[in-house]
Amino acid sequence: MANMKRIAELAGVSLGTVSHVLNGTARVREPLRERVLNAVHETGYQPSQLARGLRRDKTNILAMIVPDILNPFFPGVVRGAEDVAFANGFRLVLCNTDNDHKKELVHLNALQTYLPSGLIVIPSDFSDLTAQAESYRKSGAAVVCVDRLPRNWAGDSVTSDNAVGAFNATSYLIDLGHRRLAVITGPLHLTNSQDRLKGFKRAVRQAGLEIAPAYAQEATFDRAGGYAKTKILLRLLPRPTAILACNDMIALGALMAVREEKLNCPDDISIIGFDGLDVTETTTPQLSSVYQSSYQLGAEAVQLALDRFADTSSPVRHIVLKTELKIRESVAPPPKLESANGTGSAKRLRLAAVRA
Ligand code: RIB
């Protein structure tokens, strides 16, 4: 308040005029407006966002909830979100749930007291967040779900085309000649895990194959999950010749298990991950993966929230981003096909397949 008085004195205007210029509550004619802005500059005045928020019932804060900040996929989503928030004069407040729904509820309740203009949430599980979202909306905040959806979700959302991504990867393996396929899904209470499994199954069905239940393992979306479930798959008889790992962390764990069993990827077993993390280019062999843009997921989500904040009555939007299959060194035709062909080293066959 003392600062606003000083600005008013310096600019030679009333306190009310200063307030109108700072809060945009009324048009102030030039050159009065310019005098106020010069005085603001001279005093280095920084208005309290909280105080402004209390007056307007909204701050320039966007709240964001992510499930696992240690997974290298999610910082990409946050980066995209922050870039768009920053470009529009908003600040992002970030919370991590550790995939724990109870912690998610604590964050959801607490964040609302910051009077955010929007909430971007990557749900921790398949719980129903309808009531929480409704409460945010009633307070005038926009709500957008990203990457996976809660149960009964009827609001704005941004996801990747998970089913198509998994279908394309599985079809690629089938076209290479693989018949003994396995899949390691993420937690099946997450909609993106369900969709990836659907894509896998559709490709298998379309090729007229049957996969015994033991060849579909559910894991946590991390390296430990991928490692443990690959160990189980490698003990099955007949052993699978290819694994679709439903995220890259699972695929990294699978690679570890394969190496530990003294098997070779891809000569003995092919692996395709999902996400397309940068780290997949640094492994030996380089990991093939279904790329999805974590950055774009975050960027689109914040844009959607800002659009919704500006216009609450426009129709609900579901943005679905395309995925892209990136084939690197971790896939080859199945070993059986090589010996049947009798055409020499696995490496040569692999290169031929990748070129084709
Ligand atoms: O790696 C994290 C996974 O969980 C990603 O595939 C992403 O889609 C998320 O839901």
Kindly report the CATH number assigned to the domain that includes residue 149.
Answer: 3.40.50.2300
For the chain, how long is the longest CA-to-CA vector? 92
CA of 123 to the centre of ligand 1 (A): 11
Q: Which domain holds residue 19?
A: 4-47
Q: Is the pTM of this model over 0.85?
A: no
Give me 103's structure tokens.
Answer: 């912690």
Q: Do 265 and 339 belong to one domain?
A: yes
Domain count, the chain: 3
Tens digit of pLDDT for each residue in 300-309?
A: 999 999 999 8
Q: Do 24 and 60 belong to one domain?
A: no
Tens digit of pLDDT for each residue in 282-295?
A: 999 999 999 999 99
pLDDT over 70 at 343, yes or no: no
Given this model, what pLDDT does residue 337 score? 45
Nearest Cα residue to 302 out of 57, 60, 13 = 60
Q: Do 108 and 63 belong to one domain?
A: yes
Give me 327's structure tokens.
Answer: 């084939």
Q: Do 280 and 306 belong to one domain?
A: no
Q: Do 71 and 204 belong to one domain?
A: no
Given this model, what pLDDT does residue 353 score? 40
Q: Do 209 and 198 belong to one domain?
A: yes
pLDDT band at 356 (very low <50, low <70, confident <90, very high): very low
The DSSP symbol for 139 reads T
Q: Do 167 and 249 belong to one domain?
A: yes
Q: Give the per-residue SS3 of 7-71.
A: HHHHHCCCHHHHHHHHHCCCCCCCCHHHHHHHHHHHHCCCCCHHHHHHHHCCCCEEEEEECCCCC
- Residues touching ligand 1 (Cβ under 6 Å) are 71, 73, 147-148, 192, 221, 247, 249, 274-275
Q: Do 235 and 351 belong to one domain?
A: yes
Atom 7, ligand 1: which residue's CA is nearest? 147
Q: Do 278 and 142 belong to one domain?
A: no
Residue of 193, 195, 196, 221 with the most ligand 1 atoms within 8 Å of its CB, for mutation: 221
Residue of 66, 68, 73 with the most ligand 1 atoms within 8 Å of its CB, for mutation: 73
Q: Do 100 and 202 belong to one domain?
A: no
pLDDT over 80 at 218, yes or no: yes
